[in-house]
Each structure stands twice: as C-alpha cells, then as structure tokens.
Amino acid sequence: MNSTTERRWTTAAADEIDWRVWDGDVVARVVLSGSTYLLGETASAAFTQLSTADRPLSVEELAERLFADVRDKSEQTRHETSRALEALLADLHSLNLARPSAP
C-alpha cells in the first residue's frame, strides 16, 4: 500500500493513551511518554471518530463522517479534503495518537 488513502486508520490502543473531550476539544496524553496534546477542532473531530468507530476507517470514510456533504462535492474538493485528512492523520501518527491498522 503506497497511498495513505488506501490505508485504514485507528487510534492508539486504549492502554497507550488517555483522552477526554472538554468543550469540543480533545486533550490526549500518551501514557508512555507522558506528552499531553490539545487537539484543534478538526483534529478533535477526527480523533473522536477514529476512537469511537467499530473498525479502522479509510480516509474517505473519515471524510464522510466528518463532512456529511463531501460526496456531493467536486472531485477536486474531495481530493483536497482527502489530502488535508492525510496530513492530519500523519500528524496524529507522529504524536502517537493514531496509527495505520494492520492489513
């Protein structure tokens, strides 16, 4: 799998992170490092969707959950949305808050 759009994403395991939602924002702590992060609006929404999903999500599935009207948008808008979510997921991955799931 070369493209992150083909990957399915999930959050880190429950015993690896502690997180809470305060006023719509997620505060997450990585247990191993002790690092704590305050996620912005879109990152909070994406993290919450990944955390509560019953299975790992693709970028396209995450986009549909976050932006209900994404299917009705132009191909270019869908592509831009996917690229933005790929970058967001890469950021969450670098913080040890999300990871690609095993194939």
- In the DSSP assignment, the letter for residue 8 is E
Please check whether residue 103 lies inside any domain of the structure.
no
Q: Is 102 inside any structural domain?
A: no
pLDDT tens readout for residues 22-57: 888 999 999 999 999 999 999 999 999 999 999 999
Distance CA 84, CA 42 (A): 10
Residue 73 pLDDT > 80:
no
pTM across the whole model: 0.85
Determine, yes or no, domain membership for 3: no
Q: Does any domain span residue 2?
A: no
Q: Is residue 66 part of a domain?
A: yes
The total number of structural domains that make up the chain: 1
Give the range of the structural domain holding residue 44, as residue numbers without chain letter: 8-97
Which is nearest to 55 in space by CA: 20, 88, 11, 2? 11
Asked whether residue 12 is assigned to any structural domain, the reply reads: yes
For 10-23, the pLDDT digits (tens) are 999 889 999 999 88
Q: 22 in a domain, yes or no?
A: yes
| Cα–Cα nearest to 53, from 4, 92, 101, 1 | 101
